Amino acid sequence: MMVHLKMLLRGIIDKIIVSIYGDSYLFKRIAVFYRGYGNYYYNHGVLPKESVLHNELGLSLDEWLDENRAIDMLHKYWIREEEYESKWRMLQESVFRRLEKKEMFYSPEKVFQSSWLVKGYYGGMPFLDKEDFERLKKCLISLGEDTIIIAEEGKSGPFPIRVRLPVMITWEDLWKEGYLLATFISQDYSNFYIFGSKPIWGKYVATESDRMVNLIAFSGGNDSLLDSYLQTLDLSTVCFDGQTYQNE
Total residues found in the chain within this entry = 248
Least confident of 41-45, 84-88, 146-150: 41-45
Average pLDDT, the chain: 78
Least confident of 96-100, 178-182, 236-240: 236-240
Amino acid at 8: L
H or E, element range at 11: helix 2-21
Question: Tens digits of per-residue pLDDT, 103-133?
Answer: 655 566 678 887 777 877 777 788 888 888 9
As to burial, measured by CB atoms within 10 angstroms (0-12 exposed, 13-18 middle, 19+ buried), residue 209 is: middle
Predicted pLDDT of residue 115: 74
Compute φ and ψ for 133, nearest 5 degrees.
-65, -45
Structural domains in the chain (count): 1
Predicted pLDDT of residue 101: 60
Predicted pLDDT of residue 236: 45
Verdict on whether the full-model pTM lies above 0.85: no
Predicted pLDDT of residue 148: 97
* Largest pairwise CA distance in the chain: 53
Q: Is the pLDDT of residue 244 over 60?
A: no
Top-confidence residue, 52 or 199: 199
Residues 6 or more apart whose CB falls under 8 angstroms from that of 52 comprise: none
Alpha-carbon gap, residue 127 to 131, rounded angstroms = 9
Predicted pLDDT of residue 11: 54
In three-state secondary structure terms, 36 is helix
Domain membership of residue 215 as a residue range: 2-246
From the list 196, 170, 195, the residue with the least C-alpha distance to 181 is: 170
Q: What DSSP string runs through 119-180?
A: EEEE--SS-SSHHHHHHHHHHHHHHT--EEEEEEES-SSSS--EEEEETT--HHHHHHT-HH
Cβ 174 vs Cβ 48: under 8 Å: no
Question: Tens digits of per-residue pLDDT, 177-212?
Answer: 988 898 888 877 788 999 999 999 999 888 765 667
